[in-house]
Amino acid sequence: MINEKLEKAINEQINAEFYSEYFYLSMYAYFERINLQGFKNWMNVQLQEEHAHAMGLFNYLHERGGKVSLKQIEQPKTDWSSPKEVFEDVLKHEQLVTSKINALLDVAEEVNDRAAVSFLDWYLKEQVEEESNVGNVLKTLNLICDDKQCLFMIDKELATRTFNPPVIG
């Protein structure tokens, strides 16, 4: 049976991952509105990854004999002034998620649940990768892109991103 405090913390992280999915879905809608199909594709892949992260924790909690308690999902932002502003928000959001995963690992360590620590390590590694990917897109947007032609070039590149279901844990 999983420790109650850890169960609560995992349920909060499930909510945070579903919120992330929702947040990227809102960005997906923004890119649909401004007709940047490659950026929209990037968000589509991202939101599927977030869904997989949420379900990974959901399934793990069941596997450990815990109870999944779904909570209300907060309303995400719906408007941005530019693709650059979107990616600034994505980076800030992923940094926040990293701090949440760190706090979750602290709880797993505090209650001495080594199996959970080992499982959650995957999420920490994933965050390093996510922050790096997002940072690269943002760098390109910041350093290179100051005209529409460049934006379309990045849009083409982001259109090539594909979703590969992650193997979690």
Tokens representing 63 are 């596997």
Q: Residue 36 CB, nearest distance to ligand FEO (Å)?
A: 21
Query: Which of residues 134 and 151 has its CB atom nearest to ligand FEO in the complex?
Result: 134
First to last CA, the chain: 19
Q: Do 89 and 80 contact (CB within 8 A), yes or no?
A: yes
Tokens representing 91 are 């980076």
Q: Residue 50 CB, nearest distance to ligand FEO (Å)?
A: 5
Query: Which of residues 6 and 14 has its CB atom nearest to ligand FEO in the complex?
Result: 14
Residue nearest to ligand FEO (CB): 53
Q: Residue 134 CB, nearest distance to ligand FEO (Å)?
A: 9
Cα distance between residue 111 and residue 113, in whole Å: 6
Tokens representing 125 are 């590694």
Query: Which of residues 97 and 158 has its CB atom nearest to ligand FEO in the complex?
Result: 97
Site residues (vs ligand FEO, CB under 6 A): 17, 20, 50, 53, 94, 97, 130
Query: Which of residues 17 and 113 has its CB atom nearest to ligand FEO in the complex?
Result: 17
Q: Residue 153 CB, nearest distance to ligand FEO (Å)?
A: 25
Tokens representing 129 are 């990768």
Kindly tell me the burial class for residue 68, based on how many C-beta atoms sit within 10 Å of its own C-beta (0-12, 13-18, 19 or more): middle
